[in-house]
Every structure is written in C-alpha cells, then in structure tokens.
A and B are shown apart, each in its own frame.
Chain A
Amino acid sequence: MARTVWDSTVGKKTVMAVSGLIMLLYLVVHMIGNLKIFFGAGEFDHYAHWLRTVGEPFMHYEWTLWLVRVVLVAAVVAHAVSAYQLSRRDIRARPSKYVHKKPRASYATRTMRWGGIILGLFIVWHILDLTTGTVHPGFRPGHPYQNVVDTFSTWYGNVIYIVAMLALGLHVRHGFWSAAQTLGVGSRRRDRALKTVADVLALLLTAGFIAVPVGVMTGVVS
C-alpha cells in the first residue's frame, strides 16, 4: 500500500497534503506563541522555557520539543521530496510551450513552486538565526526575547522575514484548499467554505507573524 501511494501522482499529492497540514497546524501554534512577545520579556522567555518542559514529568526535559522537531523535519522532507518529484514529472509532461502565451491560473497557484523554495531557504536561515544562533552575531542562548529584538533591528532580518511570510500566505492560500481536494473532502457545497478558511488562515498567519518585526520596528517591542 505504501508503495502504491508513493509511486502514484495522486498518492504523492496525498503525501504533500498530509505533510502540509501537519506543518500548517504547527504554524498556527507557533504564531500564537510568538504573540507573547507583546507582553514583555518575562512572559515570552517563560513561554520559551516552558516549550522545553512540556509533558513533564511523563516526558523528560526537551523530549516533547524533540518529538515535535522530528515530526516537523519528516513533514518538511516528505513535502519537499514529493514536490520536487512531481514538479520534475510535470515539466517533462509538458516540454514544449505554446507560442501564443496567456496569463494563466491565479497568482497563488503560479507561485507554489518558487514560494516553496523561498520558504525552504527561509526555514534554514530562521533556525540558524534564532534556534542555533549560527548566523546571529551576539546570540544569547536562553534569551529569546532579546534575540528576536536583535534580529528585527537589522534591515535584512526584517526583509527576509517579511518576504518569507508573504510567500507563506500565498502558499497556504492555495495549499490548504488544494489539500482538501487531494484528500477528497472538497465538494461543490463546501467549496466556498474551504476557500474562505484558506483565505482566513493565510491572512491570520501572515499578519500574526509579521506583527512581531513590525512591533520591533515601531518600538512597541524593544
């Protein structure tokens, strides 16, 4: 059965839909967590520390966090590998372009591939910047509030982050609705509702995430 799924275009889209929904669920939680930054360093740093102690005493220190990380890495890899293989196939299936060109499909649809690559690169930078601190001069482990303020005090930090979050909004807008079709839960009756949920999710995520750099830039968070 796993073989059937992985070898089929419909199956690979199912892998993309499920992994995408897992990441989407994570993003909603992540976005809500981020908003604690507006309640001061104490609350934000406390929240960040709590992420390591979730599930105690059943789970050991950081076990839950690592479990989430493993699931997310698996989801990212499954999503990206499926997308790469399907894209290769799609390009091979339509090798010659039409001479008469027309603008086709919506903006969100056309930007799925490039948007996905931008998001992939962003995730790498984001982890090196705020989790490991590798590309973050003056990174202080255990002081996430200060680290976030540092990042968004640089022009490039803001540009990278805001561009990525706009790409995320477009990606989620087409991706959520698309996942519903792939999993066969879309219908004519539900279509309007699904499109509305996709738009609202995309808007809330983008706005919620961008609120943090805007907060730092405007001095609300310092």
Chain B
Amino acid sequence: MKLTLRVWRQKNADADGTMSTYEVDGISPDMSFLEMLDTLNEELILRGEDPVAFDHDCREGICGACSLVINGDAHGPERTTTCQLHMRSFKDGDTIDVEPWRASAFPVIKDLVVDRSAFDRIIQAGGYITAPTGAAPEAHATPVPKPDADFAFEHAECIGCGACVAACPNGAAMLFTSAKINHLNVLPQGAPERETRVLDMVERMDEEGFGGCTLAGECATACPKGIPLMSITQMNKEWLRATRRVGKR
C-alpha cells in the first residue's frame, strides 16, 4: 500500500505545531497502524530527519499507552486501540490525518505525545481501596454478588488511554473518572471510601481543567474498551448520594 500521511509535528511543548505531509510506500495491510508509523520513522532516520514521536508500549491493546486521533477519530476508524488497528482498515492511496489528543489538560509534549499525568492525579485522589498488604486474602472471605462483579469488571476494563477526553467536544474526563469510581464503588472492598472517592476524584478532575459533560456521547463511541455512557449517569448518582451523606455529617 502507498499512503499519504499528514502528521502533527511539534518540536516541544512551547513550539507551534503544524501538519507535515509524508509519503509511505510498501505498507502491508497486515501491519498495525503503529508498525506503519515505525516504517515511516525508519525512513526519516535514514534521511537524517527527526522521527515522529508517539506513545506506545504493550502493542496488545491492554496498556493504554498508545493514542492518536486518526482522521478525526480517537484510535481511528475501528473500535480498538491504535496498536490493534490494522492497515487493512485503509485503502491504497488514502490520505490519513494523524493528530495528538487535544485537551488543555493533556498538553502536547512533542509531536503526537501528550502529557496524561492528569489521569494519574485523578487516580491518586481516590482510585484505591484501603486494605492490608501482604498475602492475598481468602477469595471467598468477601462475597460479591455476580451482577456487581460483572458491573465492576465492565468498568475496570478502562485502560486510561484518554480517548474519551480526546473525542469529547468539551475535553471532559467524565467517562474515565466514572469508570474508575464505579468499578470500586460497587464492590464491598471499595465501600469504606465510597463517598470520599467520588467527591475527591470529581474535585480533582475539575481542578485538572477538564470540561463538563453535555452527554454528547462521543466518549463512549470512541472508547476502545466499550465503557458505556451510562457509567457517567452512575457517577452522577454516586456523587449526589455522597454530597447528601457528607453534608449530614
């Protein structure tokens, strides 16, 4: 396959960026999108040019490191991560636009790499449980009803890639934050911090400069792990419950 790429190039956080055009040839439809970018970078290095910086790690769709807005879609046209997106999703001769996640809470570090540490700080605010460390506890010591376990797991699937923020017209982190809150709040292990978790994580999310939710639904459409939009509804419910309870204390 022969492709024309228009890639966002930006030297550093303070520099102005621009879309640069590159031609790549000899791309196999079986390559992943990242392997296609590797091919481009090898050529750029051979030519003595600066390779395109992009985030990647496991390349198995489970770590949440890769990003990229491809032709206006977070993680590209398929509902998966960029590393699991294959070039067979494109046609020979296509022009593909590649841009970084856009949100003021995710500043560009270089080219397609953005700083997602705002997510880490949201997790630090309440995405944990209080439990003694050491040997693993007896699995049946704390019974969890099957529907609750399923609900928790559905939300625990979030890999924190930030596609929800990238897709949201308001640069909101509601889907990420709600997934992280819900997966712990529904479980008995998460019960001691049920109120403080939702209040602190939402507060941190606001402090990081993410936008608010207008229920456009773009986040859930972009999410490679299929976190549902209703996750945000559940977070709102938990937040209102916690606000009432803490107000009474």
Contacts and interface: CB of A to CB of B under 8 A. Distances in A.
Interface string A54-84: 0000000000000000000000000000000
A9 to B, nearest CB: 4
A90 B234 contact: no
A53 interface: no
A137 interface: no
A191 interface: yes
B99 interface: yes
Contact of A100 (B72, B228, B236, B241): B72
Contacts of B105: 93
Contacts of B236: 10, 13-14, 181-184
Interface stretch (B42-50, B156-164, B205-213): B205-213
Contacts of B170: 89-90, 93-94
B115 to A, nearest CB: 15
A100 B172 contact: no
A213 B204 CA distance: 50
B212 A13 contact: yes
A80 to B, nearest CB: 15
A109 B215 CA distance: 8
Interface magnitude class on chain A: 35 or more
Contacts of B97: 99-100
B162 to A, nearest CB: 13
A143 B206 CA distance: 52
A183 B240 contact: yes
A97 B169 CA distance: 9
Contacts of B205: 9
A185 B240 CA distance: 11
A174 interface: yes
B215 A174 contact: yes
Given A93-B170, A99-B99, A187-B233, A181 B240 contact: no
A39 to B, nearest CB: 40
Interface in B1-49: 6, 8, 19
Given A86-B212, A97-B102, A181-B236, A104 B199 contact: no
Contacts of B213: 9-10, 13, 182
A178 interface: yes
Most buried by A among B105, B172, B216, B241: B216
Most buried by A among B72, B102, B212, B213: B212
B237 A184 contact: yes
B95 to A, nearest CB: 10
Contacts of A177: 215
Given A14-B236, A86-B211, A95-B104, 6 more contacts: A1-B243, A4-B247, A9-B172, A9-B206, A90-B214, A177-B215
